[in-house]
Amino acid sequence: MVYVYAEQFGTFNGEAVKKFTWETDSGFTVSVISYGAIVQSIKVPDKSGILSDVVLGFDDLDSYVNRNDPHLGSTVGRCANRIGGASFQIDGVTYQLAKNIGKDHLHGGIVGFDKVNWKYIVDGSKVIFSYLSKDGEEGYPGDLVTTVIYEVKEDDTLYVEFVATTTKKTVVNLTNHSYFNLAGHETGAEEIYNHVIAINADKITETTSESIPTGRFIKVGGTAYDLRIPARLGDAMERQADSELYDDNFCVTAYQKEELNFISRVTHPPSGRYLELYSDQPGVQLYTSNFLPSPNEPALVGKGGVGYRRHGAFCLETQNYPDAVHHPGFPTAILKPGDVYRHRVNYRFGVSNEIGPEVVVS
């Protein structure tokens, strides 16, 4: 059985913010709040049956409103990731967006989809969030009606589907920005390095130093981006030339549009917890929380008073390729009136007795 509960999580601009929690017979729980359609908590049993919350977040609404610059658990839109130069053209018309990361545009702008309170309805084991982004909001054309459907089933899987329609041609690329640590959200970088990761990708999108795609691709073979064979995450990060960072779009191997493809499997051998990711999107951004506070800075205080710091979690953000509106060789990011944007992603959790790869990246 799957049980769904609703409770108050505060108020925003005079509107009630609701928290919805799913629970399965195994004890697996997922909590989502209507503000930002944010994944607030995911509790997963380990191989001894002990529950731990495996996503970073906050205990109160005020922190999400005023301190969630890292987008912990957020639904990100209208366009996730970066748009170079914070502008784009459609049919010869230039649209200027907010420059909120250097000279570029990131994660929907100043007031993106993670900074509004979504409408909601409950349909059985589904909670359906909806938001109307009006024509011109954050510089984007068209009234965009967006729906995010969350569902948990008895298989301890979180099913997420994004759906959007528009009144004008516009740019759409939605994602969820959860920060995962399968050892428990409070355990930090030391345990993140002990995770074992595999990603079904044979190339990445090449980027500039500002993380804007050049339009070219880099084959992962022989590089630190080759995660087709499971590797200990800490060892793989040490191979990185740019200070042990991952913040890159991986291109899904043999991507089939509209089909759910295997994207990634991450395990934490000490606890036995694993996460498998399936999606119908062509890319996935691996991000290792590089911009959370460093050890010599004040920590970002999260749930239970825990201090979150650099490399304390990883993100796997299924998506279209970043800056796709500027690159004809990328899958299109343009949504037309009459068409429907769809993005499905499944987060499957479980427990295994794996002890890690016999040979790890060194």
Q: pLDDT tens, 59-76? A: 999 999 999 999 999 999
317 catalytic? Reply is yes
Q: What is the total count of domains within the chain?
A: 1
CA atoms of 169 and 226, how far apart (whole Å): 36
Beta strands in 187-268 (DSSP E): 196-199, 201-207, 213-219, 231-232, 247-252, 261-268
Task: Please check whether residue 359 lies inside any domain of the structure.
Answer: no
- The confidence score (pLDDT) of residue 153 equals 95
Query: Looking at 71, 105, 107, 177, which residue is catalytic?
Result: 177
Give this prediction's pTM.
0.95
Task: Please check whether residue 356 lies inside any domain of the structure.
Answer: no
Q: Report DSSP state, residue 115.
A: G
297 catalytic? Reply is no
104 Rama class: left (phi>0) / alpha (psi -120 to 50) / beta: beta
**CATH number of the domain that residue 102 is part of:** 2.70.98.10
Domain with 271, as residue range(s), is 2-351
Q: Residues 6 or more apart from 297 whose CB is under 8 A from it?
A: none
Task: Please check whether residue 362 lies inside any domain of the structure.
Answer: no
CA atoms of 280 and 158, how far apart (whole Å): 15
Q: What pairs with residue 121 in β-bridges?
A: 128
Task: Please check whether residue 81 lies inside any domain of the structure.
Answer: yes
Residue type, 294: S
Asked whether the beta carbons of 327 and 213 are under 8 A apart, the reply is: yes
Q: Report DSSP state, residue 137.
A: G
- The confidence score (pLDDT) of residue 359 equals 39
State the burial class of residue 66 (Cβ atoms within 10 Å of its Cβ: 0-12, 13-18, 19+).
exposed
Task: Please check whether residue 358 lies inside any domain of the structure.
Answer: no
Query: Looking at 138, 186, 191, 317, which residue is catalytic?
Result: 317
139 Rama class: left (phi>0) / alpha (psi -120 to 50) / beta: left
Task: Please check whether residue 245 lies inside any domain of the structure.
Answer: yes
Q: Report DSSP state, residue 27.
A: S
* pLDDT of 244 strictly over 60: no
- The confidence score (pLDDT) of residue 53 equals 98
- The confidence score (pLDDT) of residue 361 equals 36
Radius of gyration of the chain (CA): 19
Task: Please check whether residue 343 lies inside any domain of the structure.
Answer: yes
Place of tokens 């010599």: 296
CA atoms of 170 and 162, how far apart (whole Å): 16
pLDDT digits (tens, 9 = 90+) for 302-313: 999 999 999 999
The upper half-sphere exposure of residue 64, i.e. CA atoms within 13 Å in the direction of its Cβ, equals 31
